[in-house]
C-alpha cells in the first residue's frame, strides 16, 4: 500500500483531556499572518537542576511527526529559569532532532549531557547555552530507542553512564573517552532506563524493554560499576522506567509497558506488583519525593501514543510506598504522561510532561495543575470545521481532535473513545452540529453524536476483488457530508491489506454511517485526496486521486469517469511512471461548473464542469500548489497554498495571483481554510505550524 508522507506524520490524543489551552499573546496585525493556537508539544524528557530547581530543561518533539524510514522526528531542547513561567530554545550546536535524554551534573549543574534520536550524545558546560559533540554513540541496532538515559555518578562527577539501544557505555574522564559495558548482557536487549544507587554508586540497575527485535526483558544489576551484569528479576516484564529510593536504595520501583508498577525492597532480588488503585497498565514515568520517598507519582502512557485507552489516564499518587494509589485526574491535565520530575527543595512542586499538550505544573502535590507552555512551539491546531449554528464553536485537528467554544480563544482535546493519534479528516453535520465524523489513519471512521464528547467506531466493509477476501477499510483519507441530506456520508480510503491492488474507492452511507456501499473510482492510484459535492446538485460529485487525477460522478457516486483533458502529466511523481499529481479541488459555490485544481504545475481552471482544463498560473510560475480555498461570499477570490512560495491570492477568478506572505515564517503550505462565517479570516497549515490571517 502507498500512503502519503502527509498522512504518516499527522499526529495525536488524550482520554477526556479537559485542558484549556490559551492562544499565544501575539498581537494580530491586519493583513499579516500570526502564529495560531496554543503552545505545547510532545515532551520527550524533563530534567530539573538539583541546586536551583526553578531551572528545568525539556526535550520537545514535533507532535506532527514520527519516525519514518530511519529518519527521527524533529525536536528541540528548551530551558526555563523561572519555574516554567517562560521557556526559550537552548539548541545552539544541537541537531534538529528528538531529544531522548537529559542529565545534569549534580556537582556542577551547568554541565549537562543530552542524548538524541539515533544514539548520539552532546555536552554543554554553560547551562545549555552552547553544545559540543556528538560524543559517544550507542549501538545503532535499535536506532528508535536512541539514548534512553545519561546518568552521573553521584559521588564522582567525572564518571558518567549512557544507556540506549543494546548498549551501556561508561566514561571515567568526564566524557572524553567511553567504553562499552556488556559482560553478562546478551545482544538482544533494548536498554530503556538506568538507575544508580546514591549511597553505593558502583551498584547500578538497568531496565530492559522488549522493543523489536530485542527479546530479553526485565531488570539487570551490576555491583562493580557496570563491569559485569546479572539478571535481577521481572524477566517477563518490559521495564521502561526505574526509580530508586534516595534514602533506602535497596528499594526500587519499575514502571512497565503493560504490567503497571513493581516494587523491590531487597535490591532487585524479589519483586511484587504494586498496583492497588492504579488503573493504568503502561507506566512510562515515575518520580519519588526526595524528602518523603514513600510518596511517589506514576504517569500513564500508551504504546503508539494512543490516547483514550479505557480505564486510565493522567497522574497517580501513592503516599505509602506504592502499596496503594489514587488518581490525580480531576483537573485539567489528564493526558498521556511522558515525564515527571519533583522539585528537590520544595517537593510539593511537580512538573509533568505530556504527549502533545506540553508541560504542566502543580504546587500542591499534584492536586491542581496548570499549563506552563509560554515560549514552547505552537501545537499547530488547524481549524477544520465550524458549527454553522453556533459560530464560536470550532473543531480543530492537531494530534487528535480539539474543540473551542470561544472562537479559538481556548481549546480542549475531545478524544474519548478515539483509538488513534492520526486524524486525517473531520466533518460536522450542518443540520445537527453535535453529530461529527472523523476519518483516521489506521482505525477507520468514528462518529460522535454529543458534540465530540465521545466517539464510537463506524464499520466500513471493504470492496470485494477477485481472489481477495472482503477486508475492512482502515485508512480513511477524506470525509464529506451531503449538505442537503447530511445523513449521506462519503468516505475515501484504502484497505489495511497489502494484497489489495492499487484501486481507489469511495464509500457511501445514506443512514449516517450505519451501512455502506462501495464504488470503484479508478484502477490507477490508491491515494484519494478529496471528495467534493456540487452545492446545487447533490448527485454530482468530484473525486481527487493524487496519481490518476480528477473523476466525476453524476449519479451520487455509483459511476465515475475521468475529467482530465488539459491536465498535464507530472514527471516528478513518486511513482515509477508519470502521473497527474492533483492535490486539491475547489468548486465555485455560485457557479458550480467552475472548478479549480491544484497541481505541481500550478492552478488549473475549468468552466464546463471539468470537461476541459486550462492553466491559470500568472504569478505562480514554477510553484507547486498543494491547497486551494475559495471565498464562499465572493467566489472570484481564491487562495492557493504552495510548496515553498507561501500563499497567493487572486481576486479575478485566477486571472492573476499576488503573494500574501507578510508574517508567514514558513512558506510550505499544505492546507488552507476560510472561516465560512467571516471569509476575511484565513488559516494556513504549514511545515512550521498553523497561521491565521485576518484581512
Most confident option among 64-68, 497-501, 502-506: 502-506
- pLDDT at residue 505 is higher than 60: yes
pLDDT value for 73: 64
pLDDT for the residue numbered 24? 41
Is a pLDDT exceeding 50 seen at residue 334? Answer: no
% residues pLDDT > 90 (the chain) = 43
Residue 367 has pLDDT above 60, yes or no: yes
- Checking if the pLDDT of 12 tops 60, the result is no
**pLDDT tier at 576 (50, 70, 90 boundaries)?**
low
304-318, 377-391, 527-541: segment of lowest average pLDDT: 304-318
Task: Please check whether the two domains, 1-38+378-562 and 239-375, share a CATH topology.
Answer: yes
432: helix, strand or coil: coil
pLDDT digits (tens, 9 = 90+) for 72-130: 567 899 999 999 999 999 988 888 888 988 999 999 999 999 988 777 889 999 999 99
- Tell me which architecture the domain covering 1-38+378-562 has in CATH: 7 Propeller (2.130)
- The CATH class for the domain spanning 570-695 reads mainly beta
Q: Which of 389, 391, 359, 392 is closest to 376 using CA atoms?
A: 359
pLDDT of 7 > 50? The answer is no
pLDDT for position 503: 67
| Predicted confidence band of residue 34 (pLDDT cuts 50, 70, 90) | confident
Distance CA 240, CA 255 (A): 6
CATH 2.130.10.10 fits 239-375, yes or no: yes
pLDDT band at 689 (very low <50, low <70, confident <90, very high): confident
- For residues 653-663, give the mean pLDDT: 94
User: Residue 677's pLDDT is what?
Assistant: 83
For residue 180, pLDDT over 60 is answered with: yes
* pLDDT at residue number 238: 87
Count helices and strands (H / E) in the chain: 1, 56
Task: Write out the E strands in 68-203.
Answer: 75-80, 88-89, 99-104, 112-116, 120-124, 147-152, 160-164, 167-171, 179-180, 190-196
Any idea what the Cα angle at residue 596 is, between residues 591 and 600, rounded to 5°?
180
Among residues 294, 341, 337, 334, the alpha carbon closest in space to that of 318 is found at: 294
> What's the pLDDT at 84?
95
The string of DSSP codes covering 282-350 is: BEEEEEE-SSSTT-EEEEE--GGG----TT--SEEEESSTTSB-EEE-SSS--S-EEEEEE-SS-TT-E
- Taking only the tens place, the pLDDT of each residue in 413-422 is 788 888 777 7
Over residues 514-521, mean pLDDT: 85
According to the model, what pLDDT value does residue 215 have? 67
Query: Does the structure show a pLDDT above 80 at 366?
Result: yes
* DSSP type of residue 27: P
Q: Quick check: 600 pLDDT over 70?
A: yes
Structure letter (DSSP) for residue 8: H
- Which phi-psi region, left, alpha or beta, contains residue 341 (left: φ > 0; alpha: ψ -120 to 50)? beta
Which residues touch 646 (CB under 8 Å, ≥6 apart)? Answer: 659, 660, 661, 664, 667, 669
Residue 620: band (very low, low, confident or very high) from pLDDT cuts 50, 70, 90: confident
What pTM was estimated for this model as a whole? 0.72
All three cell numbers of 650, joined, read 487572486
- CB–CB of 540/591 below 8 Å? no
Coil, helix or strand for 371?
A: strand
Q: How confident is the model at residue 269 (pLDDT cuts 50, 70, 90)?
A: very high
The answer on pLDDT for 519 being more than 50 is yes
Residue 406 is given by DSSP the state: S
Give the strand order in the sheet containing 179-180. Answer: 147-152, 160-164, 167-171, 179-180
Q: Mean pLDDT, the chain, as a whole number?
A: 82
Condensed to tens digits (0 to 9), the pLDDT of residues 236-245 reads 888 989 999 9
- Residues 584-601 have a mean pLDDT of 94
Say what the pLDDT of residue 517 is: 85
Q: What integer pLDDT is reported at residue 504 of this predicted model?
A: 75
The more confident residue out of 430 and 147 is 430
Domain ranges of the chain: 1-38+378-562, 239-375, 570-695
Residue 246: is its pLDDT beyond 50?
yes
Amino acid at each position: 500500500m502507498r500512503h502519503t508522507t502527509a498522512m504518516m506524520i499527522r499526529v495525536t490524543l488524550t482520554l477526556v483531556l479537559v485542558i484549556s489551552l490559551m492562544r499565544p499573546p501575539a498581537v494580530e496585525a491586519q493583513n499579516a499572518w500570526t502564529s495560531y493556537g496554543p503552545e505545547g508539544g510532545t515532551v520527550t524528557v524533563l530534567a530539573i537542576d538539583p541546586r536551583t530547581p526553578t531551572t528545568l530543561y525539556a526535550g520537545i518533539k514535533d507532535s506532527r511527526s514520527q519516525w519514518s524510514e530511519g529518519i527521527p522526528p524533529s525536536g528541540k531542547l528548551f530551558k526555563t529559569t523561572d519555574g516554567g513561567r517562560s521557556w526559550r530554545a537552548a539548541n545552539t550546536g544541537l541537531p534538529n532532532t528528538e531529544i531522548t535524554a537529559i542529565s545534569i551534573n549534580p556537582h556542577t549543574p551547568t554541565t549537562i549531557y543530552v542524548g538524541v534520536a539515533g544514539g548520539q550524545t552532546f555536552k554543554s558546560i554553560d547551562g545549555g547555552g552552547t553544545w559540543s559533540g556528538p560524543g559517544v554513540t550507542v549501538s545503532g541496532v535499535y536506532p528508535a530507542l536512541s539514548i534512553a538515559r545519561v546518568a552521573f555518578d553521584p559521588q564522582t562527577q567525572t564518571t558518567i553512564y549512557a544507556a540506549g539501544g543494546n548498549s551501556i557505555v561508561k566514561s571515567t574522564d568526564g566524557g572524553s573517552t567511553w567504553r562499552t559495558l556488556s559482560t553478562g548482557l546478551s545482544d538482544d536487549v533494548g536498554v530503556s532506563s538506568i538507575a544508580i544507587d546514591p549511597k553505593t554508586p558502583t551498584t547500578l540497575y538497568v531496565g530492559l524493554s522488549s522493543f523489536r527485535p530485542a527479546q530479553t526483558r526485565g531488570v539487570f544489576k551490576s555491583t562493580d560499576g557496570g563491569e559485569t551484569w546479572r539478571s535481577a528479576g521481572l524477566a517477563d516484564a518490559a521495564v521502561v522506567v526505574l526509580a530508586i529510593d534516595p534514602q533506602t536504595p535497596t528499594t526500587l520501583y519499575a514502571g512497565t509497558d503493560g504490567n503497571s508498577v513493581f516494587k523491590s525492597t531487597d535490591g532487585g532480588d524479589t519483586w511484587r506488583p504494586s498496583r492497588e488503585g492504579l488503573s493504568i497498565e503502561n507506566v512510562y514515568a515515575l518520580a519519588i519525593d526526595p524528602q518523603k520517598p514513600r510518596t511517589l507519582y506514576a504517569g500513564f502512557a500508551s504504546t503508539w501514543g494512543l490516547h483514550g485507552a479505557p480505564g486510565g489516564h493522567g497522574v497517580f499518587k501513592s503516599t505509602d510506598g506504592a502499596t496503594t494509589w489514587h488518581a490525580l485526574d480531576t483537573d485539567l491535565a489528564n493526558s498521556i504522561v511522558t515525564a515527571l520530575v519533583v522539585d528537590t527543595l520544595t517537593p510539593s512542586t511537580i512538573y509533568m510532561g505530556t504527549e502533545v499538550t506540553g508541560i504542566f505544573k502543580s504546587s500542591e502535590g499534584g492536586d491542581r495543575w496548570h499549563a506552563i507552555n509560554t515560549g514552547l512551539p505552537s501545537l499547530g491546531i488547524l481549524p477544520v470545521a465550524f458549527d454553522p449554528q453556533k459560530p464560536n464553536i470550532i473543531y480543530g485537528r492537531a494530534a487528535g481532535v480539539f474543540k473551542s467554544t470561544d472562537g479559538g480563544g481556548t481549546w480542549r482535546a475531545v478524544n474519548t473513545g478515539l483509538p488513534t493519534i492520526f486524524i486525517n479528516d473531520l466533518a460536522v453535520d450542518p443540520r445537527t452540529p453535535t453529530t461529527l465524523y472523523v476519518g483516521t489513519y489506521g482505525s477507520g471512521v468514528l462518529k460522535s453524536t454529543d458534540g465530540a464528547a465521545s466517539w464510537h467506531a463506524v464499520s466500513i466493509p471493504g470492496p470485494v476483488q477477485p481472489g481477495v477476501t472482503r477486508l475492512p477499510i482502515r485508512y480513511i483519507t477524506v470525509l464529506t457530508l451531503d449538505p442537503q441530506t447530511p445523513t449521506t456520508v462519503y468516505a475515501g480510503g484504502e484497505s489495511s491489506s497489502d494484497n489489495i491492488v492499487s484501486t481507489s474507492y469511495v464509500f457511501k452511507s445514506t443512514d449516517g454511517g450505519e451501512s455502506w456501499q462501495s464504488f470503484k473510482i479508478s484502477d490507477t492510484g490508491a491515494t484519494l485526496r478529496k471528495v467534493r459535492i456540487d452545492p446545487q446538485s447533490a448527485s454530482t460529485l468530484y473525486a481527487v486521486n493524487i496519481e490518476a487525477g480528477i473523476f466525476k460522478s453524476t449519479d451520487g457516486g455509483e459511476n465515475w469517469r475521468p475529467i482530465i483533458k488539459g491536465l498535464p502529466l507530472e514527471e516528478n511523481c513518486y511513482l515509477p511512471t508519470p502521473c497527474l499529481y492533483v492535490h486539491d479541488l475547489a468548486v465555485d459555490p455560485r457557479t458550480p461548473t467552475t472548478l479549480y485544481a491544484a497541481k505541481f504545475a500550478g492552478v488549473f481552471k475549468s468552466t464546463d464542469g471539468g470537461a476541459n482544463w486550462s492553466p491559470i498560473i500568472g504569478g505562480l510560475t514554477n510553484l507547486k500548489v498543494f491547497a486551494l480555498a475559495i471565498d464562499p461570499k465572493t467566489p472570484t477570490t481564491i487562495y492557493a497554498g504552495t510548496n515553498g512560495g507561501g500563499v497567493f491570492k487572486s481576486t479575478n477568478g485566477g486571472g492573476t495571483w499576488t503573494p500574501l506572505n507578510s508574517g508567514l515564517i514558513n512558506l510550505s503550505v499544505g492546507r488552507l481554510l476560510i472561516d465560512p462565517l467571516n471569509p476575511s479570516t484565513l488559516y494556513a497549515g504549514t511545515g512550521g505550524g498553523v497561521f491565521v490571517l485576518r484581512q
